[in-house]
């Protein structure tokens, strides 16, 4: 017969031998197998179904010319490059600008900067691209500038909101222990603002994927070439392929950004993604 002391000792040995459960703030507990597999599996299924449909679809000479010679892979690669390059410039412009506008010396300029950022997104993307083409001529440069202007707002506004939302008592405590202004910014303010900043970056990425389809009107290439070719020539297979690839790319980018939100935010900060 077991005594209470023996039972307690057995429980302690079992607890010591068992692996500790993941903490609520650890990346392992936040990234489930569903998040890692469900959306990619759906996207693979969509691409597979599209490929099977194209194998049995009847393509006339116009459709074959639009899809042959590696033009689909070229348009996809151009679209990815437009998205990556424009997002890079959005980050190096919007995040430092957001930090600057939350400093005491530049806070009065925040309404002006936000007004310009709102104007950039309120302007119809096609109209903005047309103005840039008139000014800069056709090519990738005009398309990139248009995409960047259109996507700055979410990153800028989220950077400002994230830094303003920090608890003033935490900042005062950091200054009280002798941290420099740069130390407070880098070790307290920015880590606490990371979730909101990453949410803005995620929004900007998806915006850039969608806006990059309009680059074709300025000679910038991308998947918009397939979409416009399908519309102007009334070729449904070409239109569907361009549209499906754009949607799949946008969903894939959003999925990758959601994982980045989980992995890059400081431990202990929980947000819904």
The candidate with the shortest Cα–Cα distance to 158, out of 225, 219, 205, is 205
For the domain bounded by 36-264, which CATH number is listed? 1.10.3720.10
**What is the SS3 assignment for 265?**
coil
Q: What is the pLDDT of residues 113-137, one digit of tens each?
A: 898 888 887 888 888 888 888 888 8
Q: What is the DSSP string of 86-103?
A: HHHHHHHHHHHHHHHHTS
Q: Measured between alpha carbons, how far is 254 from 177 in angstroms, rounded to an integer?
A: 40
**Residue 62 CA to chain centroid, in angstroms?**
35
Q: Residue 178, by phi and psi: left (phi above 0), alpha (psi -120 to 50) or beta? A: left
Mean pLDDT of the chain: 83
Residue 56 scores a pLDDT above 90: no
| Domain spans of the chain, in order of start | 36-264
Residue 12 scores a pLDDT above 50: no
Q: What is the pLDDT of residues 173-205, one digit of tens each?
A: 888 888 888 888 888 888 889 989 999 999 999
Q: Measured between alpha carbons, how far is 106 from 234 in angstroms, rounded to an integer?
A: 53
Two tokens at 29? 């507990």
The candidate with the shortest Cα–Cα distance to 255, out of 13, 32, 39, is 39
The label of the residue with tokens 């302690």 reads 12
User: Number of C-alpha atoms within 13 angstroms, CB side, residue 207?
Assistant: 23
Q: What is the pLDDT of residues 226-270, one digit of tens each?
A: 999 989 888 888 899 999 999 999 999 999 998 888 888 776 555
Residue 47 scores a pLDDT above 70: yes
Count CB neighbours of 42 within 10 A. 13
Q: What is the pLDDT of residues 61-103, one digit of tens each?
A: 888 888 887 888 999 999 999 999 999 999 999 999 999 999 9
């Amino acid at each position: 017969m077991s005594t209470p002391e023996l039972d307690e000792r057995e429980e302690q040995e079992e607890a010591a031998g068992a692996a500790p459960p993941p903490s609520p703030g650890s990346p392992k507990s936040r990234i489930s197998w569903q998040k890692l597999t469900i959306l990619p599996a759906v996207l693979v299924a969509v691409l597979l179904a599209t490929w099977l449909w194209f194998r049995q679809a009847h393509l006339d000479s116009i459709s074959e010319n639009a899809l042959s010679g590696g033009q689909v892979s070229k348009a996809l690669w151009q679209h990815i490059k437009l998205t990556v390059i424009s997002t890079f410039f959005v980050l190096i412009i919007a995040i430092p600008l957001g930090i600057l506008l939350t400093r005491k010396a530049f806070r009065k300029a925040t309404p002006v900067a936000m007004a310009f950022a709102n104007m950039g997104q309120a302007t119809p993307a096609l109209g903005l691209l047309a103005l840039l083409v008139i000014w800069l001529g056709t090519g990738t440069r005009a398309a990139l500038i248009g995409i960047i202007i259109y996507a700055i707002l979410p990153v800028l506004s989220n950077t400002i909101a994230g830094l303003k939302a920090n608890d003033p008592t935490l900042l005062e405590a950091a200054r009280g222990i002798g941290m420099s202004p740069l130390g407070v910014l880098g070790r307290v303010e920015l880590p606490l603002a990371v979730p909101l900043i990453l949410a803005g970056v995620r929004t900007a990425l998806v915006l850039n994927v969608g806006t990059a389809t309009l680059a074709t009107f300025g000679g910038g290439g991308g998947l918009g070439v397939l979409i416009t070719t399908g519309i102007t020539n009334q070729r449904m297979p070409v239109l569907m392929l361009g549209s499906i690839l754009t949607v799949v790319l946008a969903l894939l980018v959003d999925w990758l950004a959601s994982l980045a939100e989980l992995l890059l935010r400081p431990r202990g900060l929980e947000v819904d993604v």
